[in-house]
Amino acid sequence: MEKKTKYETLCIGGTQYKTTLTEKFKNRKNWEAPNIKMVKAYIPGNIPKIFVKEGQKVKEGTKLLILEAMKMKNIVEAPVSGVIKAIHVQEGIRVPKQHLLIEIE
C-alpha cells in the first residue's frame, strides 16, 4: 500500500501554503513580543554593580546595572521611563541568559 502524505495549511504573510510540518515545528513555542518593562539578561554573566533601588524613578537611558560577561562590562540601561518596581538580582551573583533582572512600572 502506498502511504498517503497528509498536507497541512501554513499561512505566511497572508499567503497559504500546503505542506508537511515536522513535530518540532508543531510543538514550537510561539513568538511573543517582549515586554520592555521587564529588563532581562541578554547574555549570561555576573552582576558586579547595581545603580538603582526599588521605588526609584528612572528615565529612559538611566544606568540600571552592569552585566559582566567574558571580562567585558556591559551597562544595562532603562528601556523606558518609570519607577523601579522590583530588582530580581543582587550584586555578585551569576545570571543565565533571559533571567529577569529588573521590573519597571
Distances (CA, A) of 8 to 1, 2, 24: 22, 19, 15
Per-residue pLDDT of 25-71, as tens digits, reads 889 988 888 899 999 999 999 999 999 999 999 999 999 999 999 99
* All domains of the chain in start order, with CATH: 38-104 (2.40.50.100)
Q: In this structure, what C-alpha cell is assigned to residue 20?
A: 508537511
Q: Are 82 and 59 in contact (CB under 8 A)?
A: no
Q: Distance between CA 49 and CA 101 in Å, rounded?
A: 12
Q: Distance between CA 59 and CA 78 in Å, rounded?
A: 7
Q: Choose among 81, 73, 77: nearest CA to 101.
A: 77
pTM of the model: 0.72
Residue 2 has pLDDT above 70, yes or no: no
pLDDT-based confidence at residue 4 (cuts at 50, 70, 90):
confident
Q: In this structure, what C-alpha cell is assigned to residue 62?
A: 538611566
Instruction: Calculate what percentage of the chain has a pLDDT beyond 90.
Output: 73
Span 77-84, average pLDDT: 96
